[in-house]
Amino acid sequence: MPGAPVSGYIWTAQSPRGAVLISHGVGEYAGRYVERYHALIPTLAAAGFTVYSYDQRGHGHSEGRRAVVDLNVLVGDHLKAREALRGRPGDDSPLPLFALGHSMGGLVTAASASRDPRGLSGVILSSPSLLVGEDEPAWLKALAPLLAKVAPVAPVSDLGTGHLSRLADEVAAYEADELMYHGKVRALTAATLLGLSHKLWAEYPNWTLPTLVFHGTADKITDPAGSVRFTDTIASPDKTLILQDGGYHELLNDEPREEIRAALVQWLMDRT
């Protein structure tokens, strides 16, 4: 990715019918989607989708202070990744490209697609952080940008692991993964999540891309009401919302992972 200090990866399908750009959530990294998330990346590659991804700044093997990120910068990186994919040398017949984002990566993906939908054949949002701080008092929201400036690394929020999945082995794997960031959400990350999520609502009525959104109704890490509101707001004639009753934050690591993965792959197959 020219112009971005990130580690990027490609998983190539043997007979590709499409491509998917994956954006991971806060604290994690691209390679986690190979073994976890019900082997999502190998499954996509086997189904004919070449997968591109990268460790976002401050995550995984990429440069930057651990999990201290400005979401607006991450959106810029996502746009650079898409530009690089549009300009692949020797690619005379580019594959349809889909952008998939989970949690924080869902907000980054939504912001990128809203700003410039060119070259995208569709968007998939997994438990996206679209509605942040809805229940927080006004004074705290007003204070967040100031705290981010004076103390960007200050720990402000503990997401915990109790609501990641109902499967104990998945939670244990998360907690044992040394490449994950396991600390509290930092002030800069939290403030820019809040600010970006708020301002994007004015742009969503212009959204016309084919879109799949899935969210668990018992998600305590990101608000499922944001996914409902987003799906109701966008103008796309091709939009699908899967609300998984009782589902936790990482649905592809949760009890319904088989059916969620199947629905995701089928949605892509139907549009390529």
Taking alpha carbons only, the member of 244, 227, 247, 206 closest to residue 131 is: 227
Q: Which helix or strand (DSSP H or E) is residue 261 part of?
A: helix 257-269
pLDDT higher than 80, residue 52: yes
What residues are labeled active site?
A: 103, 219, 249
- Stretch 98-120: mean pLDDT, rounded? 97
pLDDT value of position 256: 95
Structure tokens at 74: 């991450």
Q: What is the pLDDT of residue 150?
A: 83
- Give one word for 27, left, alpha or beta, with left for phi > 0 and alpha for psi -120 to 50: left
In the predicted model, what is the mean pLDDT of the chain? Answer: 94
Encode pLDDT of 172-204 as tens digits.
999 999 999 999 999 999 999 999 999 999 999
Helix (H) or strand (E) holding 39: helix 32-46
Helices (H), 116-255: 138-150, 168-176, 187-199, 224-233
Model confidence band, residue 159 (pLDDT cutoffs 50, 70, 90): confident
Q: With pLDDT > 90 as the criterion, what percentage of the chain qualifies?
A: 85
Q: How far is CA 48 from the centre of its chain?
A: 21
Sheet containing strand 18-23, edge to edge, reads: 7-11, 49-55, 18-23, 97-102, 120-126, 211-216, 239-244
Please tell me which residue, 151 or 43, carries the higher pLDDT value: 43
pLDDT average, residue stretch 66-86? 95
Domains of the chain: 7-269 (3.40.50.1820)
- From CA 113, how far away is CA 81, in angstroms rounded? 12
Residue 93 confidence class, pLDDT cut points 50, 70, 90: low
For residue 8, the SS3 value is strand
Above pLDDT 70, what percent of the chain? 96
pLDDT tens string 231-269: 999 999 999 999 999 999 999 999 999 999 999 999 999
Confidence (pLDDT) at 171: 97
Indicate whether this model's pTM tops 0.85: yes
